[in-house]
Structure 1
Amino acid sequence: MCEMEEHTDVDRISNLPWDVLDTILVSMPLKEAARTSILSSQWRSKWTGLSQFIINDACLPTYLSDKVLRWKEIMKIIQQVQSNHSGSIEKFELAAYCHPNHSDLEQWIQFLTEKGIKELILQELANVKRFKLPSRLFSCQQLSCLELNGCIVSPPPTFRGFNCLASLHLTHVSISSDTLEVLVGSCPVLERLMLLHIHPPSFLKINSLKLKHLKIDSQFQDICLQNAPLLWSVDIRLRIIPQRPDQVRACNLVGVIGCLHGIGKLILHRDFLEFLAYNVPERLPTMLDHLFALELREIRFESRKDVRVLFSLLGRAPNLEELTISVDPTFADSNPLVHFMKEQCLSGSYFNELKVVKIRGIWGTTTELEFIWFILAHSPVLEMMTIIKYRGERLSESLLRRVEWASKHVKVISLTL
């Protein structure tokens, strides 16, 4: 009879190298990682030594709604980390709606700068008064991602830029136009920039040779994108503050969009369309050869300005594959626009690469129908058109067939809200 081998319990997990344990623990929600402290005395403070901390609503008691009390709960976590952490902290994200004490938050950011922070994300801060970022943060050359909410950004005179910063998101941030220009221009590897609700309204000048993705939703007096040659994805909801006539450039469409030679995806909102529509030429001088996706939101088909911008973009984007339009609800019918679009139809231009078209929120006006017919008659490789009508019956196929469709394989889906 073979003697049975005696087995002993071995805690293999606890003896793993710290970099392996860190990888395991940071993949868990912070609340779950903290619960490992009950496993044994050896695990009591392991979670406080993590290289990444994401504090969100899941870390707080569900019954706790007071923003000040929520911050106090967050400070309990922070204090435990400050007392026990001995390594580096590469990422910190605060995404729990709270009212932080500015002194506490400043001290914590100072601590993070000493820990070699690379990604700092502050979201959903319910500040009555904006929090001024500590000067020490601007010396963190290892920062690769910076997302700020409800802050005052005022770098010290010694600031020379973030050499590693690839992503910058500013929301409800107070920053001057000069500071914003310097900040963006002094990040040599910046690829993603998001500007939402910037204060005060100012002149926006983007000077970033590596920038690829830009999103703007804010008020500005003017915009200049002429030194961002690699911009590929642009989403602009720019509310321009009216200026004196002598302050407006000759053609905003040419001045802003005309310099984006490599743009691949473009999303424009109604307010910015009105700005671009100032003095639109018959033909946009620049070809948008790389533009494959165009989305226009809240376009007004009764507006000659909006439609001129639309046709200027369509006419200079020979490789456009996807067109998405949401319509600003209106009952207005504009006969001059119908005549204008008929003139465009007679020009003989075709959208030879257009495959997908989505039009949402139409009322079924003559102007809207003329545009739909125009697309169907001039898109030989169109595969799918989706039309969503705001009210009433959906558009019938017999109505859509009043023109000859250029594509023999297009599928038209007509719906109603």
Structure 2
Amino acid sequence: MVSYSSSEMKRNMPSPCDILSYLPDNVIENILIFLPLRDAVKTSVLSKKWRRNWVTLPHLAFDDTFRNKPPRELMLTIYQVLLLHQGPILKFTLSLPGFKCCPEIKHLISFLARNDIQDLTLCFSSSDWSRGSPKLLETIFACLQLRHLHLSYCLFDPPPTFEGFDNLISIEFQDVPFEVDILKTFICKCPLLERLTLKGCFYIGNLDIDAPKLKFLYIHARWHATFLPSNAYRKALKNSETSVIIGFFRSLPVIESLNVGYQCWQFLAAGNVPDRLPANLKYLKTLELPALRFEFLREFSCALCLIRSSPNLQKLRLGVGYTKSDTADNVKTVDKFVESQDFSDISLNKLREVEMQINDFSKPEMEFVKLLLVKSPLLETMHIRQRDGDFYNGYRILKEVTRFRRASSTAEIIYFGPNEKP
């Protein structure tokens, strides 16, 4: 047995002023990763051991913490950091308000490509965007190890020689313009793609997605066409037996989360809407329909089709779209449709959370709430938000809803009036 005197133990313990030097390397790395890059560099003054710890960081982010640096000074700082850096750079972020794309970016991306970059974010200034920018970004397509790509306010035009990103699993494009079919072709060259986010992109034409592994799809569009055919084609669909919704979801077999906006919703409701899809969306867990109009038969039946076809749905969020005041005839049509329905084939055994916005609690809206409550044995919360109306109408709605039968004995119904906040 070995024993130490108290004086010997004190000699072997680190000095209180240098205790940071004795932290394990993995602890130090985790601390630095969660610090802003500027602060991580400043830790070099803490102790001798920390002096060069930051130079091996695999994640580098030039973000809001560098907002006060002029563009030339910022690029010089980036070059200095890269010059001192050692080891691979797995994640790189360049996202500053007002930052303008410049020729040096091309060389920067080339450097990152040689360092096996896997996660790349480039967000440029909207005021600087121009159609003369593509050549500055051609080097992106040399980053063959990319797994995550996020681009904002820049042109995206793969060169003819581009063969694809074999490892890419997520894409986020914001205000990125495309030539017709460019995105379709690009997605086909990303066989592992699981997440696709498109915000404010335009000139996209008729978007056709072929991504068999896609699990998450978010589209917020202000485009000329997004999943939308021409007006002539849309008119032809209106009275045809073709079901657009079947073709749409056939190309998304493993989708887990889906947000369907107004324009896309109009497209899905075109043609002959079936009671359910040929194949269930068995991976779909979250469904958001922020602009559903209950007074229109095609849209109401389309929502029922999706719910029937989503046996593992866990979260459902429903908003209401803008409707004209004269919808009485439409409501009567939907009422008759609801009365003719047999809902015995609808099962929502995993649904736990519902958020629903309503107009005036029309009969279609009321029947929809009834359906969700009676078919969801695991339901935990249902939030109902009234968009318009007054206190007395809200009281009537709440009183009526609380009387509906529920499959879940623990389901909580939470009501918010037009001016109430959570």
Which bin holds the TM-score, normalised by the shorter protein?
0.7 to 0.9
Structure 2 residue aligned with 1:296, among 289, 292, 310? 289
Hey, what does 2:316 align to over in structure 1?
Answer: 323
Between the aligned partners of 1:24 and 1:408, the Cα distance in structure 2 is 45
In structure 1, the gaps of 5 or more residues are 224-239
Hey, what does 1:348 align to over in structure 2?
Answer: 342
Listed as ranges, the matches of 1:84-95 within 5 Å are 84-95=84-95
In structure 2, the gaps of 5 or more residues are none
- Structure 1's 180 and 277: CA in aligned 2 closer, same or farther, altered over 3 A? same
Matched residues, number: 392
Hey, what does 1:412 align to over in structure 2?
Answer: 413
- Structure 1's 105 and 342: CA in aligned 2 closer, same or farther, altered over 3 A? same
Hey, what does 1:185 align to over in structure 2?
Answer: 188
Hey, what does 1:135 align to over in structure 2?
Answer: 138
Between the aligned partners of 2:108 and 2:292, the Cα distance in structure 1 is 46
- Structure 1's 12 and 328: CA in aligned 2 closer, same or farther, altered over 3 A? same
Whether the 8 Å CA contact 2:146–2:168 is kept in 1: the answer is: yes
Between the aligned partners of 1:317 and 1:309, the Cα distance in structure 2 is 13
Q: Does 1:174 align with 2:211?
A: no
Structure 1 residue aligned with 2:198, among 189, 195, 198? 195
TM-score (norm 2): 0.78
Whether the 8 Å CA contact 2:217–2:255 is kept in 1: the answer is: no
Listed as ranges, the matches of 1:13-162 within 5 Å are 22-39=29-46, 47-60=54-67, 64=68, 70-123=70-123, 125-130=125-130, 131-132=133-134, 133-162=136-165
Whether the 8 Å CA contact 2:204–2:226 is kept in 1: the answer is: no
Q: Report sequence identity in percent.
A: 27
Hey, what does 1:251 align to over in structure 2?
Answer: 243
Between the aligned partners of 2:206 and 2:37, the Cα distance in structure 1 is 41
Hey, what does 1:237 align to over in structure 2?
Answer: none
The one-letter amino acid of 1:51's match is: P
Range with greater deviation from structure 2 (137-146 or 332-341)? 332-341
Q: If each structure's strand is expressed as a fraction of its own residues, which one has the higher value?
A: 1
Listed as ranges, the matches of 1:216-365 within 5 Å are 216-218=219-221, 219=223, 221=225, 223=227, 240=228, 242-245=230-233, 250-257=242-249, 260-288=252-280, 290=282, 291-318=284-311, 320-328=313-321, 330=323, 333-350=327-344, 351-353=346-348, 355=351, 356-365=353-362
For the residue of structure 1 that corresponds to 2:187, the secondary structure is helix
Whether the 8 Å CA contact 1:97–1:126 is kept in 2: the answer is: no
Shift of 1:241: 6.6
Range with greater deviation from structure 2 (114-123 or 332-341)? 332-341
Q: If each structure's helix is expressed as a fraction of its own residues, which one has the higher value?
A: 2
Between the aligned partners of 1:47 and 1:293, the Cα distance in structure 2 is 40
The one-letter amino acid of 1:93's match is: T
For the residue of structure 2 that corresponds to 1:244, the secondary structure is helix
Whether the 8 Å CA contact 2:358–2:365 is kept in 1: the answer is: no
Whether the 8 Å CA contact 2:287–2:317 is kept in 1: the answer is: yes
- Structure 1's 35 and 262: CA in aligned 2 closer, same or farther, altered over 3 A? closer
Shift of 1:106: 1.9
Whether the 8 Å CA contact 1:110–1:134 is kept in 2: the answer is: no
Hey, what does 1:210 align to over in structure 2?
Answer: 213
Listed as ranges, the matches of 1:1-12 within 5 Å are 4-5=7-8, 7=11
Between the aligned partners of 1:335 and 1:247, the Cα distance in structure 2 is 21
